[in-house]
Amino acid sequence: MKEKNSFLKQTIDINSPNRNIVPITTLIGSDGKLSIGGCSIEELVKKYDSPLYILDELTLRNSCRAYKKALEKHYPGDSLPIYASKANSSIFMSNLVSSEGLGLDAVSEGELLTALKGGVPNENIVFHGNNKSNKEIEFAVKNNIKVIVDNDHDLERLEEISNSFNSDLEIMIRFTPGIECHTHEYIRTGSFDSKFGFGIEYLDILFNKISNTKHLKLKGLHAHIGSQIFELEPHKDLGEIMVNVILVAKKFGHNIQKLNVGGGLGIKYTENDDPPSIDEWVKTISTSVVKACKKHNLNLPTLMCEPGRSIVSTAGITIYKIGSFKEIPGIRTYVSVDGGMSDNPRPITYQSNYSACLVNNPFNTNSKKKYTIAGKHCESGDVLFKEIELANCKTGDLICVFGTGAYNNSMSSNYNRIPRPAAVLVCDGEAEIIQKRESPFDLLKYDVLPDRFIKQN
């Protein structure tokens, strides 16, 4: 019989975890069961219940180190990889990436506060967003956090704040370079038609505006062309475009010292995915920037990049417990699990694909059947997998879904008033809680019954 789940047999690349489907510590024990980080998944579920998010520390650290190592290898100037915390924001993640020498980008006061509480140095944090509130901007400025200006509204308020403080304020601007990538329409952020950033055709006007402010000091440029990208050529083009914009800024008296090329490197969710390695991606963008700077006799700027998914996604798995079955003869068999779109909204939102296996039979050695894995929410579209091959399974079995470290926990919800899962960190046979499981009572914490309703009752 043909062996299923051959991704579990593939060689693991410890230097570029984004090219693996599974965490680098994934093992099949002598009992034929799955473990991560030296921890039995079955035992973790017994202790922490399910659904359960699990993060592998070694995979996380190797991802961070791969970016640091590649930048040191390929870029002769100063550099700083910055973790895009929207992928998975927590005090733990902030602390880990900072301990590995990475900075962090945030898009809200909540993410900023989380970064600071996690120990990320203020000078290594950048603040993004296309509609920052006054409160958020003031929080960033008061905490000496670099603001990336996204639009004229941002610029006007930053000018007011710098004038009110009567002190200089260093800023970066985000612009859209007009590069198209073969990616999902909803996550293509670098084209001309984007809600993010200044249009490249507007830069002359923008640079002149900033020149006429008293305290705003333009020191950096930012651009981002999308997410889950497998192509290298667009990032090569991006480096050249950004260096050319340095020359335009120079005409208006601005000394650009930092280039932030965003993120976007894809990961391997399924066997059909073939993303470039972290080293290849960094080499492409570094070579492009160095070549363009040399051509125009420019000093090398500090090169910044913002990986998110490629840092944390492969390090994460989600464990579900199987409940009910529904077989529709000649059509499909539904297998329902104890989670779904509230802990992973990406399949229903982006039609995203993942890889999975049973914890107690990961190689699907007795499989001759395909299942549709359905979530427990009151939505027909709450389906995690359509027609996935698994070993013959039964109620109570555990399913492990790989590649869920990014945009699962951070995009989770309480739809149907379902509490969010716990999250644990595994390393060297030890497991530690990094996010407590919510209870139904936690969901009532911020509900308020108006006084007149209380009196009526």
Mean pLDDT of the chain: 94
Q: How confident is the model at residue 2, as a pLDDT? A: 43
Q: How confident is the model at residue 9, as a pLDDT? A: 86
Q: Label residue 1 by pLDDT band (50, 70, 90).
A: very low
Cβ-based neighbour number of residue 300 at 10 Å? 18
> DSSP string of 290-309?
HHHHHHTT-PPPEEEE--SH
Q: List the structure tokens of 313.
A: 């996604």
d(CA 153, CA 353): 38
DSSP H helical segments within 252-385, as ranges? Answer: 278-295, 309-312, 346-350
Please pick, among 39, 181, 293, 378, the residue that the annotation labels catalytic.
Answer: 378
Dihedral sign for Cα 191, 235, 106, 348, please: positive
d(CA 356, CA 374): 13
Q: Is 293 a catalytic residue?
A: no
With 70 as the cut, is the pLDDT of residue 208 above it?
Answer: yes
Q: Map out the domains of the chain with their CATH numbers.
A: 6-54+318-433 (2.40.37.10), 58-312 (3.20.20.10)
| Contact predicate 17/369, CB 8 Å | no
The pLDDT > 70 percentage for the chain reads: 96
Q: How confident is the model at residue 242, as a pLDDT? A: 95
